[in-house]
Amino acid sequence: GQQLNQSPQSMFIQEGEDVSMNCTSSSIFNTWLWYKQDPGEGPVLLIALYKAGELTSNGRLTAQFGITRKDSFLNISASIPSDVGIYFCAGQAVGGSQGNLIFGKGTKLSVKP
């Protein structure tokens, strides 16, 4: 089936540093979504992207829909301890099953105060 390759798998950074992570696919996507999962909770939607090249921000988070439509990027600026968690990319592939998202395996972020 279709897969999303999310990297890195984990990051351990110092508070205040910027963070970048990305998601790639061999298929073209018409929607990219970024979720965050806090420990012991379900994932929560952070940002949704719908057009190639689109750049969208949510506070210190910025995500981009790649112009090839096969990738997406998430940046977190000036990280703080509450940014700790697992970040998932998800998308709906062109020609994919309507109503069903494909998820990456997640990037686990740890922040050292």
Partner 1 sequence: DAGITQSPRHKVTETGTPVTLRCHQTENHRYMYWYRQDPGHGLRLIHYSYGVKDTDKGEVSDGYSVSRSKTEDFLLTLESATSSQTSVYFCATGSGMSANYGYTFGSGTRLTVV
Q: Applying CB under 8 A, which residues contact partner 1?
A: 1, 6, 30-31, 33, 35, 40-45, 48, 50, 88, 90, 92, 98-101, 103-106
For the chain, how big is the Rg over CA atoms in Å? 14
- Whether the bond between 113 and the residue before it is cis, its omega within 30 degrees of 0, is no
Q: Which is nearer to partner 1, 15 or 38 (CB)?
A: 38
Q: How far is the CB of 96 from partner 1 (least distance, A)?
A: 9
Q: Which is nearer to partner 1, 55 or 94 (CB)?
A: 94
Q: Which is nearer to partner 1, 67 or 94 (CB)?
A: 94
The answer to whether the beta carbons of residues 22 and 6 sit under 8 Å apart is: yes
CA distances from 87 to 33, 94, 96 (A): 10, 23, 23
